[in-house]
Structure 1
Amino acid sequence: MSSSGFKVIGRILLATGGGYFASSSAMAIFCLLLVTLGMPRADAVTLGIILVFAFYLCLILWVFAARALWRPVAVLSLLIASGYGLTAFVGHGG
């Protein structure tokens, strides 16, 4: 397989896997923020679920549109680490 083939496979894996984990951690951050601001938990989760679909699509498009692959890798890694770290630090809210 050629070098460009590996780059495409890398972008596909990053877009699907990294985008999934980054969008789920962004949803956790968003829901924690909304609940902290006083929104009922059910409404915060519903709004988060609705918005995370558009966010996931934007992440997938950005991974394929980026000229250099290190930027999406860095941003997605930072988002995943901060989202899951904040969730582990704050807890599930129960």
Structure 2
Amino acid sequence: MVSGKVTVKNPTGLHLRPAGTLCKQAMQFKSSITFHYGDGNTANAKSVLSVLGACVKCGDEIELFCEGEDEEEALQFLVNSIRTGLGEEL
């Protein structure tokens, strides 16, 4: 298992569009991908409802956890994608 922290920079946080993008990207990997937010809460990065339910706002730090055969690649790709706004202008 590998993990990495990243700060969400999207002005409106992980609302529907970036949450959908995150899920779509996470589903490309075979690894289990979750993230911790707030006070020890966990969300499944492959579930749009789980990501939306996390209510992650701009400036919040999340910690991604990837476990599986492509965990290193998944972590690196997703941290970079979140860091650059998940396709949205920052």
Alignment TM-score, normalising by the size of structure 2: 0.33
Bigger Rg, structure 1 or 2: 1
Higher fraction of helix: 1
Identify, as 1 or 2, the structure richer in strand: 2
TM-score, structure 1 normalization: 0.32
